[in-house]
């Protein structure tokens, strides 16, 4: 039986969730599996809540994953992990970047970000949780903007995807601009060690 | 050849190319923008012509002219863009086309980034034109090709109507060979000149074409029945997949009628379907277009079973559908157990931060709004807004957008407001691309009719909200060719505006001064706030808060709402700072400095 996998990528507009979902979908196609994605493009890209869905090896279905059906939730930001948690199936794999992005509403005091309560909540959910320091790793690779690549590297290293690390790295380097390749390769490799 | 990962909009572009595209035109609008964006990016490899037109009406007419000459033309827009293009389209339905004209209109159930949830299928009924309604990127490619073929054969404009979940979904798509057709050229004929007598004849022609199309749609591959038990489901667009997946998860085995041509409805196919089922659930987003067709056929054949949909009150008319929503409705109507996986067993989460989209760190619009806000402090001014990133200027702490209606309406709504309450100053904010789109006639109206409003042109040298498409003020075409720059300042002066100020909004003092000058000027005045969008350049500096000098008054945070800031013991500027330096001009004690100083 061919593998099938539903992956949700959650984050904040500008973090590069779209690139991450395209890499996974392209890698799936190259592995001979069907792939679909659905992405947030448009107004929400400006620091709003964004989600990308990737469906691998699923036929006769839409591009959006239903509640409690995702195998993997890759969250680039803790609050966005909690917001997307209802999509993850019981026992599903949850990888979270532990770097908090405080929206303007919190800075202005019209909304709150209880960071400790959010991390406690994530630690007590019925999922396989892995917390990664993706922001610091991305900075070490050359730019905080490579958080998406670090997270991809970290996800591939868990062995939970039906394709190889080399295959994903190749797709990634094809998709990023030439001058950002070295930095992304470094971010990917550092991510894989997390 | 293997499959290529394409977004639905890219698939429409590819379908148009495979169908022998000669000309494509559009004005950008989410979720449609990537159709023409893709054609522009690929233009070098093919021989078609592609342009960003100044608005959707213009795009429709350029495409119509090409089709008159026998070309295969594509025009693309978002659903509200079709309102702008409706004047030529309604007449084109009667006049018809030669070559082919495919009208790709992206609907936005939700809506994710639109003013309305209008349904282009309903518009197509009104305009009396056929529609293809793709459910996936794969279908979007194939339907676009079929739409070109149909348009050519029937001599009518044909709609392709994807929704956001098709436009912005990706899937592995197979390419096939590219067809090529000669263009016959324009042949002079009275048929191209619309007169009342001709309109009557052509109205009769359109109606007869629709009857033929309904019969053809009952036989083509896009309207098909998948046999199952006596429970019937009718679905179209992405809702088809929601319905199929929901039924599968619930263990149901319905007979499914998938309708890919919602107008004119495939009546014979609907009749064949109704004869195979005892009851029907219609699953479609937005208007009950399929449901009305099913009800009409059911009435005419005396179908006795129940028909569930929006009209029956079982499914919502507003908002986007999802597999979860459809699952809930199917479980309830069929009295099967709901999906256990979908029932959350999680504890209630802690309170989550509200995270709306905001103006980017370094966005020059923030500075423009702030300059006007400072200069008009204490006055009971009204700030009319328009469509673009700058609509986000309505959020606190700026709170500088009091109205937003549709493209170009800021300047004109402002005139009505000012006429009724002349004592209140009116500032109309409009982006550069929106100004070219529909702002100019409004400005001429202000001058002509002596509405002394103040225009604030937010000139960031791009069409930012929709993905940075070029426009007439930039000296570059869709395919990257250098062209004449249309000078907005000269244009504003030529409209008769007596005072035009040009200023860099990031120079707060100068910007405030320009606003005050405009305020004092007795007639229509304009301030051109000019600084490029942050997406167009790399930051060359960053700012930091010097904690030893900071008095923690929080003015930087509370006045500007810049997302680069967060509050620790004292305000901190995070990594997304773009170096605009506005905060440094707001800080009363000079505690904000360049990071390397």
CATH number at residue B54: 3.40.50.970
Rounded to a whole number of angstroms, the distance from the CA of B525 to the nearest CA of chain A is: 30
Average pLDDT over residues B212-240: 98
Q: How many residues does chain A have?
A: 194
pLDDT classification of A13: cutoffs 50, 70, 90 = very high
Q: Which of residues 461-490 of B touch A (CB under 8 A)?
A: 465-466
What residues of B are in contact with residue A22 (Cβ under 8 Å)? 5, 170
CATH number at residue B551: 3.30.70.20
* B461 belongs to a structural domain: yes
Q: Report DSSP letters for B476-497, one per residue.
A: B-TTS-B-----HHHHHHHTT-
The pLDDT mean for chain A works out to 95
Same domain for B376 and B497, yes or no, is yes
Residue range B284-310, pLDDT digits in tens: 999 999 999 999 999 999 999 999 999
Are B577 and B443 found together in one domain? no
3-class state of residue B354 by DSSP: coil
Do B380 and B521 lie in one domain? The reply is yes
Q: Where are the beta strands (DSSP E) in B310-418?
A: 382-384
User: Is A104's Cβ below 8 Å from some Cβ in B?
Assistant: yes
Domain contains B346: no
Task: Using pLDDT thresholds of 50, 70 and 90, give the confidence band for residue B393.
Answer: very high
- The average pLDDT across B542-568 equals 96
């707001």: which residue's tokens?
A: B586
Give the pLDDT mean for B468-483: 94
In the predicted structure, residue B73 carries a pLDDT above the cut 70: yes
Token pair 């992956």 is at which residue?
A7
* B519 phi-psi bin (left φ>0, alpha ψ -120 to 50, beta other): alpha
User: Given an 8 Å threshold on Cβ–Cβ distance, is B171 in contact with A117?
Assistant: no
Q: Are residues B198 and B259 in the same domain?
A: no
**Is B155 touching A (CB cutoff 8 A)?**
no
Residue B318 scores a pLDDT above 90: yes
Given a contact cutoff of 8 angstroms between Cβ atoms, the answer to whether B244 and B267 are in contact is no
Q: What is the mean pLDDT of residues B68-96?
A: 98
Eight-class DSSP state of B531: -
* Host domain of residue B547: 543-594
**pLDDT beyond 80 at B9:** yes
Same domain, B252 and B125: no
Which positions 30-49 of A are in contact with B (Cβ < 8 Å)? 34-49
Predicted-complex ipTM score: 0.96
Same domain, B428 and B465: yes
Nearest Cα neighbor of B9 from B252, B173, B216, B218 is B173
Domains recognised in chain A with CATH numbers: 5-192 (3.40.920.10)
Instruction: Share the mean pLDDT of chain B.
Output: 96
Are B54 and B101 in a shared domain?
A: yes
Residue B319 forms contact with A (CB below 8 Å): no
* Sign of the torsion angle spanned by Cα atoms B467, B470, B474, B480: positive
Domain boundary (B170, B198, B216) is at B216
pLDDT band at B278 (very low <50, low <70, confident <90, very high): very high
**What pLDDT, on a 0 to 100 scale, did the predictor assign at position A17?**
95
Contacts of residue B31 in chain A, CB cutoff 8 Å? Answer: 41-42
Residue B359 lies in a domain: no
pLDDT (tens digit per residue) in B401-433: 999 999 999 999 999 999 999 999 999 999 999
Cβ-contact B327, B279 below 8 angstroms: no
Q: Which residue of A has its CA nearest to B29?
A: A42
As a whole number of angstroms, the distance between CA B319 and CA B117 comes to 8
Chain centre to alpha carbon of residue B11? 18
- Asked if B463 and B530 sit in the same domain, the reply is yes
What is residue B1's predicted lDDT score, i.e. its pLDDT? 55
Please give, rounded to a whole number of angstroms, the shortest distance from the CA of B543 to a CA of chain A.
17
Residue B124 belongs to some domain of the structure: yes
Burial code of B345-359, b = ≥16 C-beta within 10 A, e = fewer? Answer: ebeebbebbebbbbb
Residues B10 and B56 both lie in one domain: yes
Give the domain-ending residue among B499, B521, B536. Answer: B536
Mean pLDDT for A140-146 is 96
B5 neighbourhood in chain A, CB within 8 Å: 22, 25-26, 29, 35
Whether B354 is covered by a domain: the verdict is no
pLDDT at A44: 64
Nearest CA in chain A to B392: A43
* CA dihedral sign of residues B281, B285, B291, B293: negative
Mean pLDDT to the nearest integer, B510-532: 98
**What residues have CB less than 8 Å from B529, skipping those under 6 apart?**
B364, B367, B368, B371, B456, B457, B458, B459, B503, B504, B505, B511
Q: What is the per-residue pLDDT for A1? A: 66
Same domain, B241 and B210: no
B30 near A CB under 8 A: yes
Residue B349 inside a domain? The answer is: no
**B379 lies in the same domain as B418:** yes
Residue B343: what pLDDT? 77
Residues 161-180 of B with CB under 8 A from A: 165, 168-172
How far is Cα B545 from Cα B527, in angstroms, rounded to an integer? 31
- How many structural domains does chain B have? 4
- B346 at interface of A, judged by CB pairs closer than 8 A: yes
Residue A175 in contact with partner chain B when CB distance is under 8 A: no
Comparing CB atoms, the residue among B31, B244, B345 nearest residue A90 is B345
Last residue within a domain, chosen from B191, B216, B241: B216
Q: Is B235 on the interface with A (CB under 8 A)?
A: no
Residues 349-368, chain B, touching A (beta carbon < 8 A): 349-360
Indicate whether B567 belongs to any domain.
yes
Nearest by CB to A62, which of B2, B323, B561? Answer: B323
Residue B15 lies in a domain: yes
Indicate if B496 and B557 belong to the same structural domain: no
Using a CB-CB distance cutoff of 8 angstroms, which residues of chain A are in contact with residue B578?
none
Distance CA(B57)–CA(B502), nearest Å, equals 30
Q: Of B172, B353, B575, which has the smallest distance from its Cβ to A112's Cβ?
A: B353
Residue B344's pLDDT is what?
74
């Amino acid at each position: 039986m061919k593998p099938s996998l539903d992956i949700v990528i959650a984050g904040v507009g500008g973090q590069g969730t779209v690139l991450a979902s395209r890499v996974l979908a392209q890698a799936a196609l190259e592995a001979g599996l069907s792939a679909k994605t659905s992405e947030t493009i448009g107004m929400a890209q400006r620091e709003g809540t964004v989600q990308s869905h990737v469906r691998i090896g699923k036929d006769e279905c839409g591009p959006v994953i239903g509640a409690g059906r995702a195998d993997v939730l890759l969250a680039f930001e803790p609050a966005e992990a909690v917001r997307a948690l209802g999509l993850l199936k019981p026992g599903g794999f949850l990888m979270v970047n532990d770097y908090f992005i405080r929206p303007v509403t919190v800075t202005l005091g019209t909304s709150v970000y209880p960071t400790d309560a959010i991390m406690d909540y994530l630690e007590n959910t019925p999922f396989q949780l892995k917390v990664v320091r993706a922001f610091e790793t991305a900075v070490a690779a050359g730019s905080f903007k490579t958080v998406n690549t670090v997270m991809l590297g970290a996800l591939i290293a868990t062995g939970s995807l039906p394709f190889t690390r080399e295959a994903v790295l190749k797709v990634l380097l094809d998709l990023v601009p030439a001058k950002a390749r070295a930095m992304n390769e470094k971010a990917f490799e550092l991510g894989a060690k997390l | 050849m293997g499959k290529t990962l394409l977004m639905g909009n890219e698939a429409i572009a590819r379908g148009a190319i495979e169908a022998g595209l000669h000309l494509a035109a559009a004005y950008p609008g989410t979720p449609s923008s990537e159709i023409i964006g893709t054609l522009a990016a690929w233009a070098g490899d093919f021989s078609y012509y592609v342009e960003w037109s100044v608005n959707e009406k213009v795009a429709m007419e350029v495409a119509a002219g090409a089709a008159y000459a026998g070309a295969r033309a594509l025009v693309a827009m978002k659903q509200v863009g079709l309102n702008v293009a409706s004047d030529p389209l309604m007449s084109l339905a009667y006049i018809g086309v030669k070559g082919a004209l495919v009208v790709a209109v992206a609907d936005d159930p939700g809506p994710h980034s639109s003013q309305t949830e209008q349904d282009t299928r309903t518009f197509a009924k009104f305009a009396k034109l056929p529609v293809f309604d793709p459910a996936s990127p794969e279908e979007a490619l194939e339907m676009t090709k079929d739409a070109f073929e149909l348009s050519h054969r029937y001599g009518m404009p044909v709609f392709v109507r994807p929704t956001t979940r098709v436009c912005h979904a990706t899937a592995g798509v197979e390419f096939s060979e590219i067809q090529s057709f000669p263009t016959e050229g324009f042949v002079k004929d009275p048929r191209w000149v619309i007169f009342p007598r001709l309109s009557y004849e052509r109205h009769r022609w359109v109606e007869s074409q629709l009857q033929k199309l309904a019969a053809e749609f009952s036989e083509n591959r896009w309207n098909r029945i998948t046999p199952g038990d006596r429970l019937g489901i009718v679905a179209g667009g992405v809702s088809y997949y929601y319905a199929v997946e929901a039924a599968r998860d619930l263990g149901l085995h319905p007979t499914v009628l998938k309708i890919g041509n919602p107008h004119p409805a495939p009546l014979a196919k609907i009749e064949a379907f109704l004869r195979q089922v005892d009851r029907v659930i219609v699953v479609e987003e937005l208007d009950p277009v399929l449901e009305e067709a099913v009800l009409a056929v059911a009435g005419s054949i005396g179908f006795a079973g129940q028909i569930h949909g929006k009209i029956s009150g079982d499914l919502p008319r507003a908002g986007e559908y999802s597999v979860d929503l459809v699952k809930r409705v199917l479980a309830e109507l069929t009295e099967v157990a709901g999906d256990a996986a979908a029932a959350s067993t999680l504890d209630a989460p802690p309170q989550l931060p509200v995270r709306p989209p905001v103006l980017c760190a370094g966005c020059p619009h923030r500075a423009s709004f702030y300059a006007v806000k400072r200069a008009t402090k204490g006055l009971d001014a009204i700030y009319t807004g328009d469509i673009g990133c700058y609509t986000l200027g309505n959020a606190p702490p700026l709170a500088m957008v009091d109205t937003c209606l549709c493209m170009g309406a800021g300047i004109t709504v402002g005139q009505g407001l000012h006429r009724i309450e002349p004592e209140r100053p009116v500032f109309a904010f409009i982006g550069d691309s929106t100004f070219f789109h529909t702002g100019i006639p409004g400005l001429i109206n202000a001058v002509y009719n002596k509405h002394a409003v103040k225009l604030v042109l937010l000139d960031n040298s791009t069409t930012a909200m929709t993905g940075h498409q070029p426009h007439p003020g930039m000296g570059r075409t869709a395919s990257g060719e250098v062209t004449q720059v249309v000078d907005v300042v000269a244009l504003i002066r030529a409209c008769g505006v007596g005072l035009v100020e040009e200023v860099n909004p990031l120079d707060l003092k100068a910007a405030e001064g320009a606003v005050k000058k405009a305020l004092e000027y007795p007639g229509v005045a304009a301030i051109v706030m000019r600084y490029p969008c942050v997406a167009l350049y790399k930051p060359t500096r960053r700012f930091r808060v010097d904690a030893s000098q900071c008095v923690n008054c929080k003015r930087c945070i509370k006045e500007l709402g810049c997302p680069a800031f967060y509050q620790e013991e004292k305000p901190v500027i995070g990594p997304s700072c773009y170096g605009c330096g506005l905060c440094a001009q707001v800080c009363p004690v000079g505690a904000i400095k360049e990071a390397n100083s």
